[in-house]
Amino acid sequence: MLERVGVEDLAALFADLPAAYRDPVIELPPQLTEPELIALLEQRAAGNADPGRPNFLGAGAYRRSIPSIAAHLTSRSEFVTAYTPYQPEISQGTLQTAFEYQSVVCELSGMDVSNTGLYDVASATAEACLLAARVTKRNAVALLEPIHPGTADVVRTYAYGAGIRVDLVTSGDETTGEHACLVAQQPDFLGAIADLEPLAEAAHAAGALFVAVADPFALGLLRAPGDAGADIVTGEGRDLAGAPAYGGPSVGLFAARQQYLRQMPGRIVGRTKELEAPPDGGEPRTGYVLTLQAREQFIRRERATSNVSTAQALIALAFTVTVQALGPRGLREAAELCYQRAHAAAARVAALPGYEAPERGPWFQEFLVRGPVPAATLSAELAARGITAGLDVSDRAEPEAREALLFAVTEATPDAHVAALIEALAEIGAQA
């Protein structure tokens, strides 16, 4: 090959590179063969908590029962090793599954249109704020507390670039004519189920859009934000796609009302037909294509609705398979099971002497726990007993959060873990 290319060594191919900087000294660990690599990473993985350790963290990532077929189907190499489907004739697998995803997201959210998914719930929510600012020509957004601090932070990051002000509000009525949108999380960051309708009304009264950040799993049970008046719905699909993997990869759901379609960020797949009938006769067949690309960076460049290109297609696929495997009844049953198990666990905790589970109205899978000792102490005591406590939220303003930990119990939390928790809490209480 070298000869055919007309050079006598590889180095010659890099002649254009400035000689002064060519072939620098680079310190990297030595090559590993596959068995060595596996051994190393097994050892690393063992450096994390034992997967069997009782863990009651939620706060944005929840343990779910994922049907085994989700991993099975998502691991098909034709899905895994494909690029973004630029050639629809040989990419119908990616395209049609993306269309399934869009359909599922629309059904769950009660929205008209969905894109194929963004990076995660927080960046999707930030994009929603930018969209709202574009269509309302306003340059402030209101985020309703309690909202996930990570979400709020990402909105601020995107807003900073766009020159948008971010206001944290504690009531929908604080939405003003300056605000492009009101953003509310469902369930909220402390686990409570929000009544979205009045919030939507408040936002609309101020001429702002209403953006709901909803847990798609909870939507198996809770009212579709679309019905409640939401204009845009974002959400996190990771938990229904597979294990949390320390927080990513994720997939940010993004769905909106029809009128915002041409303002949406990200890829969108549309249904169409062949231009001609197939060689073996018959009608032109149905196919799927990337569409409305005039919104996108590679055509619109600096006038694009977003810069997003590669997103999280494979995670969106796993999310889709899980939701469809559960089906309409399964999803409802799973969400109810989650609700029942969480409430049963909370009741057991609250029944322990010295403990309370302060409520902020109806809630879904997360509850606050205040114990006989300060939150930090309680968390440490549980850790000492091999249990990872819920997130310490004692620094928050909400009165119910005072000295409280935020515990998550879902349909997938083993009974044995809850039992271990109750026992440990009782023991800690007794010693306090």
Partner 1 sequence: MSPMRPARRPRSEDFGARLSFDRGAPGRRAVDVPPWDGERTPLPDAHLLRDEVRLPELSQGGLVRYYTALSARNYGIDSGTYPLGSCTMKYNPKVDDLVASLPGFATAHPQSPPEEAQGTLRTLLELRHGLAEITGLPAVGLAPAAGAHGELAGVLMITRALEDRGELELRRRILVPDSAHGTNPATAAMAGFAVTQIPTGPDGSLDRATIEQELDETVAAVMVTVPNTLGLWEQGIEEVAELIREAGAYLYGDGANLNAIMGRVRYGDLGFDVVHLNLHKSFSTPHGGGGPGAGPVCCTQELAPYLPTPVLEEGADGLVRLVAPERSIGRLQQFHGNVGVLIRAYAYMRALGLEGLRAVSGQAVLNANYLRVLMHGHYDLPYDRPVLHEVVFSGTRQRREHGVRTYDIAKRLIDHGFHPPTVYFPLIVEEALMIEPTETEPPEAIEAFAEAMIAIAEESAEDPETLHGAPWTAPLGRLDEATAARRPVLRWQGGEDGE
Q: Interface residues with ligand PLP (CB under 6 A)? A: 309-310
Q: Which of 5, 12, 38, 432: binder of a copy of itself (CB under 8 A)?
A: 38
d(CA 172, CA 56): 31
| Bridge partner residues of 288 (DSSP) | 271
Q: Which of residues 44-83 bind a copy of itself (CB under 8 A)?
A: 65, 67-68, 72, 75, 77
Query: Is residue 314 within the footprint of partner 1 (CB under 8 A)?
Result: yes
Q: Give the number of residues in contact with partner 1, rule: CB under 8 A.
A: 202
Q: Is 90 in the site for a copy of itself (CB under 8 A)?
A: no
What is the end-to-end Cα distance of the chain in Å, rounded? 77
The DSSP secondary-structure symbol of 239 reads G
- Give which of ligand PLP, a copy of itself, partner 1, none residue 234 binds (C-beta under 5 to 8 Å, depending on kind): none
Q: Rule CB under 8 A: which of 64-103 touch partner 1?
A: 65, 67-69, 72-73, 75-94, 96-100, 102-103
Going by their DSSP bridges, the two strands 165-169 and 179-186 should be labelled as unpaired
Least distance to ligand PLP, CB of residue 372, Å = 50
Rounded to an integer, what distance in angstroms lies between the CA atom of residue 422 and that of residue 273? 59
Number of residues counted as binding a copy of itself (CB under 8 A): 13
| Residues between 197 and 216 with contacts to a copy of itself, criterion CB under 8 A | none
Bridge partners, residue 405, by sequence:
369, 392
**Of residues 410-429, which lie at the interface with partner 1 (CB under 8 A)?**
411
Residue 34 found at the interface with a copy of itself (CB under 8 A): yes
Name which of 18 and 399 has its Cβ closer to partner 1.
Answer: 18
For the segment 348-387, give every residue that binds partner 1 (CB under 8 A): 362, 383
Q: Which of residues 387-426 bind a copy of itself (CB under 8 A)?
A: 411-412, 414
By the rule CB under 8 A, 328 interacts with partner 1 = yes
- Asked whether the beta carbons of 196 and 172 are under 8 A apart, the reply is no
Which residues are bridge partners to 124 per DSSP?
A: none
Q: How far apart are CA 178 and CA 197, in angstroms?
A: 21
User: In sequence order, what DSSP letters do the residues of 136-202 get, joined into one string?
Assistant: HT--EEEEESS--HHHHHHHHHHHHHHT-EEEEESSGGG--TTEEEEEEEES-TTSBPP-HHHHHHH
d(CA 137, CA 127): 15
Report the alpha-carbon distance of residue 366 to residue 413 in Å, rounded: 12
Residue 291: which of partner 1, ligand PLP, a copy of itself, none does it interact with, CB under 5 to 8 A by kind? partner 1
Q: Report, in Å, the least distance between residue 55 CB and a copy of itself.
A: 16
When binding is defined by CB under 8 A, the residue of 304, 350, 373, 420 that contacts partner 1 is 304
Name the binder of 79 from partner 1, a copy of itself, ligand PLP, none, CB < 5-8 A by kind: partner 1
Does residue 39 interact with a copy of itself by CB under 8 A? yes
Helix axes 121-136, 149-162, angle to 10 degrees: 40
Nearer to partner 1, 13 or 205 (CB): 13
Q: Based on CB atoms, which residue is closest to a copy of itself, 218 or 326?
A: 326
Contacts of 360 (CB under 8 A, 6+ apart): 190, 191, 192, 368, 398, 400
Strand partners of residue 236: 252
Structure tokens at 298: 């590679």
| Cβ 35 to a copy of itself shortest distance, Å | 4
Does 35 engage in binding with a copy of itself (CB under 8 A)?
Answer: yes
Q: How far apart are CA 255 and CA 234, in angstroms?
A: 6
Kindly tell me which residue out of 332, 351, 384, 419 binds partner 1, with binding defined by CB under 8 A. 332
Closest approach of Cβ 70 to a copy of itself, in Å? 11
The residues with which 181 forms a beta bridge, in sequence order, are 209
> What does 376 bind: ligand PLP, a copy of itself, partner 1, none (CB cut-off 5 to 8 Å by kind)?
none
Phi, psi of 56, rounded to the nearest 5 degrees? -110, 20
Of 318, 321, 312, residue with least CA distance to 123: 312
**Which residues lie near a copy of itself (CB under 8 A)?**
34-35, 38-39, 65, 67-68, 72, 75, 77, 411-412, 414
